[in-house]
Structures are given as structure tokens and as C-alpha cells.
């Protein structure tokens, strides 16, 4: 087993949201040009309010990728009956570029967890061809596995997640 998927298994990302996969593309996710996303690290809502830069460091300009961001812990991690909530989808991202070069089909919705610690997951899929991904019509009750199946995306090529919880007023200062 690849060491890079171990944190995804420990964080129950693989199992609850994704099937086991072999990461083969490097994805670097950065908020506010200096906050790197690492598996399991905590970021506060104020730090993730604006959309991140997501770099795809693999493939070439002819390779196309789809980026999905979800929260599987809605409304709260102890009873996530709305699992998953969709936060962002960008398709047709050329390899070796970042998400800003792709086509945003679901606009970025910043994380605002109310109850407990939520996981926010970025999943990268390799597309077979351009403009083949259709956007879902809803954000709640999203299912990453079904989305990948319906759009013929196969298994992910990269994934990373961070934890986030409600911020107190004192923490925002």
C-alpha cells in the first residue's frame, strides 16, 4: 500500500467517500497563497473563505482533469445524514496547470461547519476527453463515487483533505 493513501484511510476518506486507489498525479492545494492543505491538518473557516489554488503537477497539457471538493460530514460528523455536501467542481483542467485553467461547473462554496469537526476533501480524476463531465443539479446528498461512475472518470488519481470546525469570535482576531 502506498504511504500517500495511509492518511486517507486513517481519516476514513477511503471507505466512506472514495474506494482504494493508487495516487499517480501530484496535486498541491494552497489557500491564500501560503496555507498548504495536508491530510488531516486543521484550517479555520476564515482561512478557507476564498477559493484555493489547486495545481495539477502531472500529465501534460493534453491530459484533462476534474476536481471535486466535498464535505462528507453534513450536518455533523456524528450523524452525517446529508452526506456528502458538494463545495466545488472544476472540469477540463489541463495537466501541469491549475484549476483556474479549467471550467468551473459548480462554483466554490466556502466551508462553514456548524457542528463538530468536518473533513473537506479535494479529489482529482483524470478525464478521458474534454467536456464530458456534467454538473449535478444539487449540492446536498452528493456522492463522489456515483459522480465518477456517471461521468466515466474511474478511480481518483489524487486526493487530499483538511479538517475544519466552527470558529469562535476570539479565534478570528
Share the mean pLDDT of the chain.
93
Strands (E), the chain: 26-31, 35-36, 53-57, 64-71, 85-94, 103-106, 117-126, 158-165
- Write out pLDDT tens, residues 51-95: 999 999 988 889 999 999 999 999 999 999 989 999 999 999 999
Whole-number pLDDT of residue 2: 60
Whole-number pLDDT of residue 37: 97
Q: Which of 90, 74, 95, 81 is nearest to 131 (CA)?
A: 90
- Cα within 13 Å of Cα(87), Cβ side: 24
User: What domains sit in the chain, N to C, each tagged with a CATH number?
Assistant: 5-171 (3.90.280.10)
Q: At residue 172, does pLDDT exceed 60?
A: no
- Write out pLDDT tens, residues 91-106: 999 999 999 999 999 9
How many residues does the structure list for the chain? Answer: 173
C-alpha distances (whole Å) from 66 to each of 52, 144, 152, 172 are: 15, 12, 11, 33
Whole-number pLDDT of residue 169: 67
Amino acid at each position: 500500500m502506498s504511504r500517500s493513501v495511509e492518511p486517507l484511510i486513517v481519516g476514513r476518506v477511503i471507505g466512506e467517500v472514495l474506494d482504494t486507489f493508487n495516487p499517480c498525479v501530484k496535486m498541491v492545494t494552497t489557500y491564500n497563497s501560503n496555507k498548504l492543505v495536508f491530510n488531516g491538518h486543521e484550517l479555520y473557516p476564515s482561512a478557507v473563505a476564498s477559493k484555493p489554488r489547486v495545481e495539477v503537477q502531472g500529465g501534460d497539457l493534453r491530459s484533462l482533469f476534474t476536481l471535486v471538493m466535498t464535505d462528507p460530514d453534513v450536518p455533523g460528523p456524528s450523524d452525517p445524514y446529508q452526506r456528502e455536501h458538494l463545495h466545488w467542481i472544476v472540469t477540463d483542467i489541463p495537466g501541469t496547470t491549475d484549476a483556474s485553467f479549467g471550467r468551473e461547473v459548480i462554483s466554490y462554496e466556502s466551508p462553514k461547519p456548524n457542528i463538530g469537526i468536518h473533513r473537506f476533501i479535494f479529489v482529482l480524476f483524470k478525464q478521458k476527453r474534454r467536456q464530458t463531465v456534467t454538473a449535478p443539479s444539487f449540492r446536498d446528498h452528493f456522492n463522489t463515487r456515483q459522480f465518477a461512475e456517471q461521468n466515466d472518470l474511474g478511480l481518483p488519481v489524487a486526493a487530499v483533505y483538511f479538517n475544519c470546525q466552527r470558529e469562535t469570535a476570539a479565534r478570528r482576531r
